[in-house]
Amino acid sequence: ETGVTQTPRHLVMGMTNKKSLKCEQHLGHNAMYWYKQSAKKPLELMFVYNFKEQTENNSVPSRFSPECPNSSHLFLHLHTLQPEDSALYLCASSQGIDRGNEQFFGPGTRLTVL
Amino acid sequence: GENVEQHPSTLSVQEGDSAVIKCTYSDSASNYFPWYKQELGKGSQLIIDIRSNVGEKKDQRIAVTLNKTAKHFSLHITETQPEDSAVYFCAASSQGGSEKLVFGKGTKLTVNP
């Protein structure tokens, strides 16, 4: 148990659906992250939020829309996804965004786009 | 930008043997190198990390070595146990104001009883 929870754990959606992934951290951290993990590819950073402000958008398509209402919650809104977006989406948090801050990961949401 | 290569992609060892996973990085300015263990359904957890001001760090059966000149770092697990079976990721922090870890592709370690 890392102190970072993600829901749902599994999600199957069609290309026309709209869904949201949720992440919550109980560690009192100020920074939160979304990563995409595809088979046989490195973990890819998608977004970084620090004190609810987005500090990184790693050239992510607009069909992925993050939301960070407070430092404890992070959402990833999904709409009109493509089959190649099927992957494990990991959320992480850290004390801050200074280099060397340990990141704590959630268990991930396994997303399948049909 | 930073690029991290990790080898091997799969590794199978007998219980009690040692396991070594190697990573190389491209950005000489990177100075933080964590290793994560990912178990199914449990998420990824930091198991050890090293900063560029040291060459080796050890924590019980796990050690990490760093060669800044050659730009590579390695994870060493001694006296492996079946519960060490997992996917291991190395990472390096690249330049920039935010924590922008770049990860390797992962190594699936299987420890056979």
Contact predicate A91/A106, CB 8 Å = yes
pLDDT digits (tens, 9 = 90+) for A12-70: 999 888 999 999 999 999 999 999 998 878 889 999 999 999 988 888 999 999 999 99
Is there a contact between A94 and B93 if contact means CB atoms under 8 Å apart? no
The whole-number pLDDT of residue B23 equals 98
Tell me the DSSP string of chain A. Answer: --SEEEE-SEEEE-TT-EEEEEEEE-S--SEEEEEEE-TTS--EEEEEEETTEEEEE-S--TTEEEEEEETTEEEEEEES--GGG-EEEEEEEES-SSTTPPPEE---EEEEE-
Contact list, A96 vs chain B (CB under 8 Å): 99
Angle at A69 between CA A64 and CA A75, to 5 degrees: 30
The whole-number pLDDT of residue B95 equals 53
Strands B62-67 and B56-59: antiparallel
- pLDDT band per the 50, 70, 90 thresholds, residue A99: low
Is there a contact between A108 and B43 if contact means CB atoms under 8 Å apart? yes
Mean pLDDT by 10 residues, chain B (113 residues): 92 98 93 88 84 89 96 97 95 66 92 95
Contact list, A40 vs chain B (CB under 8 Å): 9, 105
Residue A75: strand pairing partners: A22, A67
The whole-number pLDDT of residue B58 equals 95
The whole-number pLDDT of residue B112 equals 95
Q: Which of A6, A26, A43 should we substitute to test contact with B (largest number of B Cβ atoms within 10 Å)?
A: A43
The whole-number pLDDT of residue A59 equals 86
CA dist., res. B86 & res. B80, Å (int): 12
Work out the average pLDDT over A63-78. Answer: 96
Neighbours of A7 (CB within 10 A): 13
Q: Which is nearest to B106 in space by CA: B3, B10, B1?
A: B10
The whole-number pLDDT of residue B72 equals 95
Residue type, B100: K
The whole-number pLDDT of residue B94 equals 67
Contact predicate A99/A48, CB 8 Å = no
